[in-house]
Structure 1
Amino acid sequence: MIAGLFETHLKVADLKRSEHFYGEVLGLELAHRDETRPITFYWLGGRGEAMLGLWEEAPENIQRQHFAFRSTVPEVLRAPAWLRERGLTPRNFLNDGTDQPMVFAWTPAIAIYFTDPDGHSLEFIAMLGGGPRPELGVISLEEWQSKL
Structure 2
Amino acid sequence: MIQGLYETHIQVSNLEKAVQFYTEVLGLELAHYDDNRPIAFLWIGENKKAMLGLWEQQENLQKRHFAFSCSKDFILNSANKFLEDNGLKAYNFLKNGDNKPMVFAWMPALALYFDDPDGNQLEFIHILEGTSQPALGVISYADWLQRKDDSKV
Deviation, structure 1 residue 37: 2.3
- Counterpart of 1:81 in structure 2 is 81
Report if the CA contact (8 A) 1:15-1:54 is conserved: yes
- Report the TM-score, using the length of structure 1 for normalisation: 0.95
Q: Percentage identity across aligned positions?
A: 52
Determine the C-alpha separation between the residues in 2 that align with 1:74 and 1:99.
Answer: 16
Other-structure match for 2:114: 114
Partner of residue 133, structure 2: 133
**What is the distance in 2 between the residues matched to 1:20 and 1:27?**
10
* CA shift digits 1:124-148 (9 cap, x unpaired): 0000010101111111111000111
Give the drift of 1:36. 3.0
Secondary structure in 1 aligned to 2:63? coil
Residue aligned with 1:76, SS:
helix
Question: What's the Cα RMSD here?
Answer: 1.0
Distance 2:111 2:91 in 1: 10
- Matched residue of 1:146: which SS? helix
Q: Secondary structure of the equivalent of 1:122?
A: strand
Which letter does structure 2 place at the counterpart of 1:39? Answer: I
Match of 2:4 in 1: 4
Partner of 1:33: 33
Q: In the alignment, what sits opposite 1:144?
A: 144
Q: Distance in 1 between matches of 2:108 and 2:33?
A: 37
Measure the CA separation in 1 of the matches of 2:28 and 2:48: 13
Encode CA deviations 1:56-75: one digit per residue, 9 max, x unaligned. Answer: 11232x11110011111111
State the Cα distance separating 1:22 from its structure 2 match.
Answer: 0.5
The alpha carbon displacement at 1:53 in A equals 0.5
Which letter maps to 2:25?
A: V
- Greater CA drift, 31-40 or 98-107: 31-40
Q: Which segments of 5 or more consecutive residues in structure 2 lack a partner in the other structure?
A: 149-153
What is the aligned partner in structure 1 of residue 65 from structure 2? 66
**Alpha-carbon distance in 1 for matches of 2:50, 2:25:** 19
Question: Match of 1:16, SS?
Answer: helix
**Greater alpha carbon shift after TM alignment, 107-116 vs 47-56:** 47-56
